[in-house]
Amino acid sequence: MIISEKNRREISKYLFKEGVCFAKKDFNLAKHPDIDVPNLQVIKLMQSFKSKEYVRETFAWMHYYWYLTNDGIEFLRTYLNLPSEIVPATLKKSAKPLGRPMGGPPGDRPRGPPRFEGERPRFGDREGYRGGPRGGPPGEFGGEKSGAPADYQPAFRVIFLF
Protein backbone atom coordinates (compact mmCIF):
# COMPACT_ATOMS: atom_id res chain seq x y z
CA MET A 1 0.00 0.00 0.00
CA ILE A 2 1.27 3.45 -0.83
CA ILE A 3 1.47 5.67 2.26
CA SER A 4 2.46 9.32 1.90
CA GLU A 5 5.76 10.38 3.44
CA LYS A 6 3.96 12.82 5.74
CA ASN A 7 1.69 10.10 7.16
CA ARG A 8 4.59 7.64 7.42
CA ARG A 9 6.54 10.20 9.46
CA GLU A 10 3.55 10.95 11.72
CA ILE A 11 3.04 7.26 12.49
CA SER A 12 6.77 6.72 13.04
CA LYS A 13 7.05 9.76 15.34
CA TYR A 14 4.12 8.55 17.44
CA LEU A 15 5.51 5.00 17.63
CA PHE A 16 8.95 6.21 18.68
CA LYS A 17 7.60 8.71 21.22
CA GLU A 18 5.28 6.21 22.95
CA GLY A 19 7.13 2.94 22.27
CA VAL A 20 3.78 1.25 21.64
CA CYS A 21 0.93 1.68 19.18
CA PHE A 22 -2.58 0.27 18.92
CA ALA A 23 -5.27 0.22 16.27
CA LYS A 24 -8.79 -1.12 16.17
CA LYS A 25 -9.30 -3.80 13.53
CA ASP A 26 -11.55 -1.56 11.46
CA PHE A 27 -10.14 -0.99 7.99
CA ASN A 28 -12.86 1.55 7.15
CA LEU A 29 -12.21 3.81 10.15
CA ALA A 30 -11.56 7.29 8.75
CA LYS A 31 -8.96 8.36 11.31
CA HIS A 32 -6.83 6.72 13.99
CA PRO A 33 -7.87 7.93 17.49
CA ASP A 34 -4.38 9.22 18.43
CA ILE A 35 -2.76 10.03 15.08
CA ASP A 36 -4.27 12.20 12.36
CA VAL A 37 -3.94 9.53 9.63
CA PRO A 38 -6.33 6.85 8.32
CA ASN A 39 -6.50 3.74 10.51
CA LEU A 40 -5.80 1.47 7.52
CA GLN A 41 -2.45 3.18 6.91
CA VAL A 42 -1.44 2.67 10.55
CA ILE A 43 -2.29 -1.04 10.34
CA LYS A 44 -0.47 -1.54 7.03
CA LEU A 45 2.68 0.32 8.12
CA MET A 46 2.79 -1.68 11.36
CA GLN A 47 2.38 -4.91 9.34
CA SER A 48 5.40 -3.83 7.32
CA PHE A 49 7.37 -3.07 10.49
CA LYS A 50 6.35 -6.46 11.90
CA SER A 51 7.69 -8.30 8.84
CA LYS A 52 11.02 -6.48 9.32
CA GLU A 53 10.90 -7.33 13.07
CA TYR A 54 10.85 -3.68 14.13
CA VAL A 55 7.71 -4.27 16.22
CA ARG A 56 6.14 -7.19 18.07
CA GLU A 57 2.40 -7.67 17.51
CA THR A 58 -0.36 -8.79 19.86
CA PHE A 59 -4.03 -9.03 18.97
CA ALA A 60 -6.82 -9.02 21.54
CA TRP A 61 -10.46 -7.95 21.59
CA MET A 62 -10.48 -6.66 17.98
CA HIS A 63 -7.44 -4.43 18.59
CA TYR A 64 -3.88 -4.71 17.35
CA TYR A 65 -1.10 -3.81 19.78
CA TRP A 66 2.46 -3.23 18.56
CA TYR A 67 5.52 -2.95 20.80
CA LEU A 68 8.75 -1.43 19.51
CA THR A 69 11.79 -3.75 19.53
CA ASN A 70 15.45 -2.73 19.90
CA ASP A 71 15.95 -3.06 16.12
CA GLY A 72 12.91 -0.86 15.60
CA ILE A 73 14.30 1.79 17.94
CA GLU A 74 17.56 1.90 15.97
CA PHE A 75 15.71 2.03 12.63
CA LEU A 76 13.38 4.85 13.72
CA ARG A 77 16.27 6.78 15.25
CA THR A 78 18.03 6.85 11.88
CA TYR A 79 14.78 7.41 9.93
CA LEU A 80 13.72 10.36 12.10
CA ASN A 81 17.30 11.70 12.55
CA LEU A 82 17.11 11.57 16.35
CA PRO A 83 20.07 11.56 18.78
CA SER A 84 20.74 8.51 20.92
CA GLU A 85 19.73 10.39 24.10
CA ILE A 86 16.08 10.40 23.06
CA VAL A 87 14.34 7.14 24.00
CA PRO A 88 10.73 5.92 23.78
CA ALA A 89 8.45 6.46 26.78
CA THR A 90 8.41 2.73 27.52
CA LEU A 91 12.16 2.77 28.21
CA LYS A 92 12.15 5.83 30.45
CA LYS A 93 12.33 5.27 34.18
CA SER A 94 9.18 6.47 35.85
CA ALA A 95 9.62 8.71 38.86
CA LYS A 96 8.38 6.90 41.93
CA PRO A 97 5.74 8.86 43.81
CA LEU A 98 6.84 10.11 47.18
CA GLY A 99 5.01 8.17 49.83
CA ARG A 100 5.03 8.43 53.56
CA PRO A 101 8.45 8.07 55.09
CA MET A 102 8.98 4.70 56.73
CA GLY A 103 10.86 6.05 59.72
CA GLY A 104 10.26 9.11 61.78
CA PRO A 105 10.89 10.33 65.27
CA PRO A 106 10.60 7.52 67.81
CA GLY A 107 7.96 9.31 69.89
CA ASP A 108 5.84 10.29 66.88
CA ARG A 109 3.18 7.58 67.17
CA PRO A 110 3.00 3.97 68.31
CA ARG A 111 3.80 1.26 65.80
CA GLY A 112 1.80 -1.95 65.57
CA PRO A 113 -1.17 -3.16 67.57
CA PRO A 114 -1.75 -1.86 71.09
CA ARG A 115 -0.01 -3.77 73.85
CA PHE A 116 -1.98 -4.76 76.95
CA GLU A 117 -0.65 -5.65 80.33
CA GLY A 118 -2.37 -7.96 82.77
CA GLU A 119 -5.54 -10.02 82.36
CA ARG A 120 -6.89 -8.54 79.12
CA PRO A 121 -7.49 -11.06 76.34
CA ARG A 122 -4.93 -11.02 73.58
CA PHE A 123 -7.33 -11.42 70.65
CA GLY A 124 -10.46 -9.79 72.03
CA ASP A 125 -13.62 -11.80 71.40
CA ARG A 126 -11.76 -14.24 69.14
CA GLU A 127 -9.80 -15.79 71.98
CA GLY A 128 -12.14 -18.78 72.20
CA TYR A 129 -11.80 -19.48 68.50
CA ARG A 130 -8.03 -19.66 68.52
CA GLY A 131 -6.57 -22.68 70.18
CA GLY A 132 -8.36 -24.49 72.93
CA PRO A 133 -8.19 -28.09 74.08
CA ARG A 134 -7.32 -30.61 71.43
CA GLY A 135 -8.07 -34.26 71.92
CA GLY A 136 -7.60 -37.38 69.91
CA PRO A 137 -4.50 -39.15 68.69
CA PRO A 138 -1.42 -37.09 67.80
CA GLY A 139 -1.42 -35.67 64.29
CA GLU A 140 -5.19 -35.81 63.87
CA PHE A 141 -8.10 -33.61 64.75
CA GLY A 142 -9.85 -34.54 67.92
CA GLY A 143 -11.81 -33.41 70.89
CA GLU A 144 -15.17 -31.72 70.56
CA LYS A 145 -14.12 -30.07 67.29
CA SER A 146 -13.48 -33.38 65.57
CA GLY A 147 -16.31 -33.16 63.02
CA ALA A 148 -19.91 -34.16 62.46
CA PRO A 149 -21.56 -36.68 64.82
CA ALA A 150 -21.62 -40.32 63.76
CA ASP A 151 -25.42 -40.42 63.32
CA TYR A 152 -25.53 -37.34 61.04
CA GLN A 153 -27.20 -38.06 57.68
CA PRO A 154 -26.87 -35.23 55.15
CA ALA A 155 -29.81 -34.77 52.78
CA PHE A 156 -29.39 -33.57 49.22
CA ARG A 157 -32.33 -32.16 47.31
CA VAL A 158 -32.59 -30.95 43.76
CA ILE A 159 -34.58 -27.76 43.31
CA PHE A 160 -35.74 -26.73 39.85
CA LEU A 161 -36.35 -23.05 39.29
CA PHE A 162 -38.47 -22.12 36.32
Which of the four pLDDT bands, split at 50, 70 and 90, describes residue 150? confident
Q: Where are the domains of the chain?
A: 5-81
Strand partners, 55: 68
Residue 161 CA, distance from chain mean position: 40
Query: pLDDT tier at 65 (50, 70, 90 boundaries)?
Result: very high
Q: 135 with 143: CB under 8 angstroms?
A: yes
C-beta of residue 9 within 8 angstroms of C-beta of residue 1: no
Of the candidates 45, 44, 69, the residue with the CA atom closest to the CA atom of residue 56: 69
5-81 topology per CATH:
Arc Repressor Mutant, subunit A (1.10.10)
Mean pLDDT for the chain overall: 82
pLDDT given at position 1: 87
Its pTM stands at 0.58
